[in-house]
Amino acid sequence: MIAEGLSYEDQLQNYQLAYQLLKRKLRTSYVSQLIKSISLPEIRDIHRAIHQGESPSSGLLPAIEAIPQVRESMLYISLFASLYRSASPVDIRAEMDVSAIIFAWDFFCETFPNHVRERRPYGKVRPANFSEAWVIAQALKIGSASLQYCKSCHGDHIVIYNSKFPPTCQVCVIDQLRKRGNVPDSK
């Protein structure tokens, strides 16, 4: 976390980081937890300035267990988590890499340009917003989710502990269901 009592240059870097996070509409409470040298009211003011007077989101913070609503969403969450891990030079199970989260999110949005839906109802493509991406990164750090290698399809898949989906590779599960005719082919 970023401490107080900083030099002018460090303070400017904190404002730049806050700008980058708020531009992507990260929940202000997460920004406040990360950057202690900027007050929460000031963070909210920055959000309003960036987004033409729009107030920051309020309400409950997203929980990792609630993000995947359908099996297909696990595929996209796995993709985001893989991008994040690949972009980070640090062990994401030990610390969050803010730059890597931003890079992975931006790349994810470029890959799926029409998916981002900041308000409910969210679709199958998750994370649906930057706050959900942040929650995925947090879950990987604290151990409530893990990125695992599948020996069958040779890809990464996310396991979200305490979710409604079993801790198996959802790519393989969807493939098995499709072969049995239980899932429509997505061509």
* pLDDT at residue 17, rounded to an integer: 97
Which residue blocks in 24-168 are alpha helix, DSSP H?
Answer: 28-34, 40-50, 71-87, 98-111, 130-142
14 and 31 Cβ atoms separated by less than 8 Å: no
What pLDDT is recorded for position 118? 61
In this prediction, residues 36-44 reach a mean pLDDT of 95
pTM (2 decimals)? 0.88
Single-letter amino acid code for the residue at 53: G
Q: What confidence category does residue 5 fall into, taking pLDDT thresholds of 50, 70 and 90?
A: confident
| Number of other residues whose CB lies within 10 A of the CB of residue 106 | 14
**Is the four-CA dihedral 65, 83, 101, 87 of positive or negative sign?**
positive
Predicted pLDDT of residue 116: 67
Closest CA to 23 of 49, 50, 48, 56: 50
pLDDT number for residue 4: 55
* Best mean pLDDT range from 62-71, 92-101, 177-186: 92-101
| Non-local CB neighbours of 72 within 8 Å, separated by 6+ positions | 124, 170, 174
| Closest C-alpha among 114, 146, 130 to residue 31 | 130
Judge contact between 72 and 39, C-beta under 8 A: no
Q: DSSP characters for 151-174? A: TTT--EEEEETTSSS-SS-HHHHH
Query: Would you say residue 89 has pLDDT above 50?
Result: yes
pLDDT for res 59:
81
Which is nearest to 92 in space by CA: 33, 151, 156? 156
